[in-house]
Structure 1
Amino acid sequence: MMITITLEFNHGFQWFEKNGIYVKGYVFDENNNLYQNGQLTDYFLGCENEQDFKRKLEHANGIFCVIIKRDDKAFIGVDRTRTFPIFYTEKENDFYISDNTYFFKNKLHLKQIDRLSQEEFLLTGYVTGENTLLKNVYQLQAGQYATAGKGLNKDYYFTYAARNAVNKTYDTLEKELLHAFEDVFGRLITSVDNRTIVIPLSGGYDSRLIAVMLKKLGYENVICFTYGRYDSFEVEISTKVAEKLGYKHINVEYHDNLFDGFVDDERYIRYSKFGANHTSVFLLQDYFAVKYIYDKELIPKDSVIVPGHTVFISGAHIPAGLKKKRMKSRIINEIMRRHYSLKKIIDAEKFRVKISQQLGEGFSYSCFENWVLKERAAKFIVNADRTYEIFGYEHRIPLWDNALIEFFKYLDIKYKLNKKFYNNVLEKTIFSRYGVDFGEKNKGNELIQRIKMFIKPYVPKYIFDKYKTKKDINCFYPVSKRLLDSMTNPDGIDIWNDNSVVAYWYVESLQ
């Protein structure tokens, strides 16, 4: 078997190769030693078999991907959040690996669209499992590795599904979490090597935690930015937080004229391919703010952008009805209701079967979380960091550090529901010391959201549109309108569902 490796994306993070080891990203080992850039190849030296490779992946703490080529075999691995996607295919007894699905499409002529994957993509905004929109082109999943040689062997070195929970007092858990935060942000500071940290500061707690911890640890080379309409609550809260902490704050005001001509812009077209990669919708929420900051040279070119991607691990997504008892059908129902929702679903059973095959073993709520991590968190939330990379910026996701993942993985459900423990520690122990303990903007509880979805079909369109316009603080409507206006067949697409609009636009672009 001939193995061909084609790596093309060097946006933000560069690929490095030495002795047949291809790497991107950075890693802290179990002794807290940092390996980044070309040094990252040294971390994987000595991996000559699957067991050695798996052991290295299990102890790697950071964002990375790795390919090791050894004669007629190869080892491939991605981090626990699939930060840098890797794709592969077999053709005529040869094995091909790339970070760019357009390589398979244009060079190997694998152009056929997988219709089930396309339907799923339009429902969720991403293709679940190992599939992509291209038939016979596959992806490694979060926490997964593969060995190619005499056949293909895939396995997970990490799963978020837990079969037990820690039995500790609240005070003990709080001390452990505070200690973990110190370690996590210490590693963040070490990894950026005195460069400017740029925080997309929202009105929520996650990005605020990053800002406060950097202040606590004495890191002053920080710039915050916020975007949205002039009357956005995000702008109001984030400005107040930045002022309290003494950090420079950039406000990028979103208005209709900011989006003129973007659909035909060369950078946007490149970003749409890079960000989607036949797998996920590319996100536009941050795109225009980062473009504005880049074009105006408001931050150093070697800045590191650090978003607050962690609402997942804090427990915010866990349905109240999922407890420890194994309830497979209930898990599937919740996944379908929450994540297969960008359009009306026609044949739900085929997706129920697919989800059933993807669930791990463990508590019901933990299996639900594991699915969300591998699918929505990895392919939607973390994939949003392509926005920063296309402008040449590195990024970090400290709230996905292994220490926090392991802590929250085994945290009891009573502390996870509604982010009770997470929010309480942040408010009373961390934020209060810096005068930023004002509440997170109430996004409404689950019951209210269900009532809204139920009455939506009965509300006159002009009333619904007026309500949505008032709530459209990030100007999704003018962006979606420009995308729909550029399409040949926009009929029936909900202009207020921005992710659905992007999904349909991208699928049409593949025709």
Structure 2
Amino acid sequence: MSSSRFEGRETELNFRHADRWVSKGSAHVRGQVYYDGKLLSQSEFAARVDAIDSSAALQTFLAESNGFFVLVTTVADRVLIAADHVRSWPLFYGLGDQEVYISDDAQWVHERTGEPALDPIAGTEYLHTGFVSADRTLSPTVSQIQAGEVVEVDLSEATDPVTSSRYWKFELGNGNRQPSLKELDEYAVSATERLIEYADGRPILLGLSNGYDSRMIALLLYRLGYENVITYTHDLTAGYAKDEIDAAKSIADDLGFEHVTVNVDHANFREFYQSDAWDEFHEAVGYLGSLPDIGEIVMLRKLLSENEIDENAIQIRGHYLYPASARIPEYITKRNTISRDEFVQDIWEGHYNRWDTHSKEIFSSDPEEIKELRNNIHERIPVDIYQNSETEPNTKALNGYIAWLWQERVPKLLSIDYELDFTGLDKWWPLLDKEYSEFWTEVDYNLVLSGDLHKSYIEWLDTEIRGEDIDPITEFGGGGTGSYYQLKSVYEKAPPKLRKRIRRLYFRVSGYLYDDSYEEDPRYGLLSPETFDQYSLHRLNSKRSNWVALHIALLSSDGFIGFNETTEIDATVPER
């Protein structure tokens, strides 16, 4: 922990994960960057940040850099906090009477800013999404850094010292480029070369499925001659069926990579919950900004315990920014304008779907809370949209959808951050590479949303290296049926008022309803079957329970989170 005082406010820093940080002068950095084509060491990165003399200069440096990082530095009487383009690790900040508190531990900031009651509206959003949107958290006095953002705290300003700006945004709809597969290949190879340079011979742990994205990374690593690769596939409900595990192993065998299957069962989660690791995990990783990924960590802990894997290994995922087409309504490409109501409804249906607000069988949200959440959706998106008009051109609405995915879903749901610290693993995610992501902003958005270019490239790559065509079923990620996708298409084209009914049919046809969800999902093994049945976790249908709601319910019943007034979260917890 360090502190510095200026006229007006004192800055107090606390890094719970201090071994991952490097400091130089007033600069503190985590992660590494490529600048001017060179991978800077953490020490070089910290020294360069320490030499920066203004917020504008920092933003220019970061805009010209590539990598995964978070940083804090002081310039004159201003503290600057910044994150990379996808917010690989969150930092939290809050103000006291005469202090500014900054930490990678939100609870530490919460305690030092008066430890106020948690925000019930933020709690309702947390239950519906698994995170709190924009720079907010469950605590009304704690803020979180956002993707591509620089936060500036003026230590000499008494009343309103915090300002922020974005040095980078992910936007589609403005490009008209129709690149060849060779052009795309150049960007994909460059991103993989940066991963290889960062890995520097260390083992790369790649979660491999029979789909496109992780396959692309495996193929490129093989093509570029990186041999120290361990692929793995797990059998969680949210993971892969046996035929997909066999297909992933076949890919790994063809490329000469070691492949490991991780079999996770109810007992693994029960052991985790009943051990000291449950409390230690939540205290180390945090939960005030977004819900940590227990499933991934239990799986990785088992992977590491059952296999001899170097402690310096790098975990790789196949997440990316550009298509996200499953979350973009299909009709947007066929309409000239999109109304505000349609836009909000699409975001709500696509992302606020962890809890069924209108179920007659369970506690229902206060309509005013839901109204406030819905009204604020477009205001929390970092693009100028629906400010002075009830309609927007389709390309502008598209950028609103994409901004939500980039700002909220990728950093807070898809990316795991301090969870990996709990396992000791490092990370570097090549398909989230900034230069690779920027390539897609120049491409005709119809090509991006359809995924045709992305799929064609990986099919070509697989044929070139393995001499095989990709099974067409993996075009949809290996999980859907023909009826599923026909209904999905109908749903996306339907008016908002019809979507509720179509959505229930959508889940029923696609096989998302189980007679016994407890048996289907080993994550529910945190509890015994008898205890599990006491929790109200309904999502879209009373026959399907909700893992996110269960995790939040346990945080509530175990005393991690609590509110001074009744919230919808209370409905998930059994009466005492």
TM-score, normalised via structure 1 length: 0.90
The aligned residue for residue 410 of structure 1 is 442
The aligned residue for residue 503 of structure 1 is 552
SS at match of 1:496: coil
SS at match of 1:305: strand
**C-alpha separation in 2, matches of 1:138 and 1:162:** 28
SS at match of 1:77: strand
Aligned residue runs from structure 1 range 51-200, under 5 A: 51-149=56-154, 150=157, 151-162=161-172, 164-168=174-178, 172-200=179-207
Aligned residue runs from structure 1 range 195-214, under 5 A: 195-214=202-221
Report the number of matched residues: 499
Letter of the 1:295 counterpart: S
The aligned residue for residue 487 of structure 2 is 448
1:352: Cα distance to partner? 2.1
Cα shift readout 1:372-424 (whole Å, capped 9, x = no counterpart): 11001111111x24332211110111101112211122322221234222112
Contact 2:28 2:71 in 1 (8 A): yes
Letter of the 1:7 counterpart: N
Contact 2:231 2:252 in 1 (8 A): yes
Letter of the 1:504 counterpart: A
Contact 2:89 2:417 in 1 (8 A): no
**C-alpha separation in 2, matches of 1:202 and 1:483:** 30
Cα shift readout 1:422-477 (whole Å, capped 9, x = no counterpart): 11211124455324543311435554355773248999x9x94338679x4x6344
SS at match of 2:409: helix
Match among 11, 15, 23 for residue 17 of structure 1: 23
1:198: Cα distance to partner? 0.9
Match among 315, 325, 329 for residue 305 of structure 1: 315
Contact 1:66 1:76 in 2 (8 A): yes
The aligned residue for residue 515 of structure 2 is 466
SS at match of 2:37: coil
The range that moved more, 434-443 or 409-418, is 434-443
Distance 1:24 1:308, change over 3 A: same
Contact 1:35 1:43 in 2 (8 A): no
1:283: Cα distance to partner? 1.4
Mind listing any 5+ residue stretches in structure 1 that lack a counterpart?
none
Match among 222, 225, 240 for residue 215 of structure 1: 222
Distance 1:482 1:290, change over 3 A: farther
Letter of the 2:374 counterpart: R
The aligned residue for residue 355 of structure 2 is 343
SS at match of 1:294: helix
The range that moved more, 493-502 or 139-148, is 493-502
1:354: Cα distance to partner? 1.0
Contact 1:322 1:331 in 2 (8 A): no
**C-alpha separation in 1, matches of 2:48 and 2:468:** 40
The aligned residue for residue 427 of structure 1 is 459
The aligned residue for residue 257 of structure 2 is 247
Cα shift readout 1:7-58 (whole Å, capped 9, x = no counterpart): 32328x71111111000001001x2111133222133243111110110111
Contact 1:184 1:398 in 2 (8 A): yes
The aligned residue for residue 247 of structure 2 is 237
The range that moved more, 354-363 or 234-243, is 354-363
Letter of the 1:454 counterpart: R
Contact 2:94 2:102 in 1 (8 A): yes
**C-alpha separation in 1, matches of 2:441 and 2:517:** 36
**C-alpha separation in 2, matches of 1:437 and 1:274:** 44
1:294: Cα distance to partner? 2.4
Is 2:518 aligned against 1:485? no
The aligned residue for residue 268 of structure 2 is 258
Distance 1:10 1:468, change over 3 A: same
**C-alpha separation in 2, matches of 1:84 and 1:476:** 25
Match among 267, 281, 304 for residue 294 of structure 1: 304
1:225: Cα distance to partner? 1.2
Contact 1:77 1:144 in 2 (8 A): yes
Give 1 or 2 for the bigger CA radius of gyration. Answer: 2
1:94: Cα distance to partner? 2.1
Contact 1:263 1:486 in 2 (8 A): no
The aligned residue for residue 343 of structure 2 is 331
Contact 2:23 2:29 in 1 (8 A): yes
TM-score, normalised via structure 2 length: 0.80
SS at match of 2:295: coil
Contact 1:75 1:148 in 2 (8 A): yes
Please provide the CA RMSD for this pair.
Answer: 2.8
Letter of the 2:442 counterpart: Y
1:192: Cα distance to partner? 1.2
**C-alpha separation in 2, matches of 1:155 and 1:352:** 24
Distance 1:432 1:317, change over 3 A: farther
SS at match of 1:260: helix
1:140: Cα distance to partner? 1.2
**C-alpha separation in 2, matches of 1:114 and 1:98:** 20
